[in-house]
Amino acid sequence: MSGKPKPHYFNGRGRMETVRWLLAAAGVEFEEQLFETREEFEELVQGGNLMYEQVPMVEIDGMHMVETRAILRYIAAKHNLYGRILQEQAWSKQCFLCRRELRFLGSLAAICSGVLDRVTENSFV
Ligand SMILES: N[C@@H](CCC(=O)N[C@@H](CS)C(=O)NCC(=O)O)C(=O)O
């Protein structure tokens, strides 16, 4: 394991994107391992380092960390981005929870636009 954190994820933003943002905000360089195929993901599963057979997984400080929120908390705590006092922690929690909702709304918008495309295709509009 090199000194740099190594995030493992599918080649897309998904659940890893916040981890990337946080590492960038902390000024930490990282080397990503991105899968292009399901087979590459399965290989990682077979390697036995995914506690729940799911990604995101980040190799960091001798660990193979999984669970997005646990990863975020670890990085934030390590780089003093978690908030030193309760008010700062409340502020960061507000930002984090709002980001989760934006992600949800983004997914919803994608689904809705797919539905709209289908409605439009099947109508005479
Ligand atoms: N609770 C986990 C959920 C992780 C999760 O759902 N990962 C998906 C990709 S975003 C996955 O690895 N799926 C594996 C599969 O579909 O076999 C977290 O927050 O990290």
- In this prediction, residue 112 has a pLDDT band, given cuts at 50, 70 and 90, of low
Question: What pLDDT is recorded for position 113?
Answer: 62
**For the residues of 84-99, what is the DSSP string, one character each?**
SSHHHHHHHHHHHHHH
Closest atom of ligand 1 to 14 CA is: 10
For a substitution probing ligand 1, which of 9, 11, 15 has the most ligand atoms within 8 Å of its CB? 15
User: Where do the domains of the chain lie?
Assistant: 1-82, 85-125
Neighbours of 122 (CB within 10 A): 8
pLDDT at 29 over 80: yes
How many whole angstroms from 84 Cα to the centroid of ligand 1? 30
What fold is seen in the domain 1-82? Glutaredoxin (3.40.30)
What average pLDDT does the chain have?
86
Q: For residue range 46-104, what is the model confidence (pLDDT) as tens digits?
A: 999 999 999 999 999 999 999 999 999 999 999 998 888 999 989 888 887 887 777 76
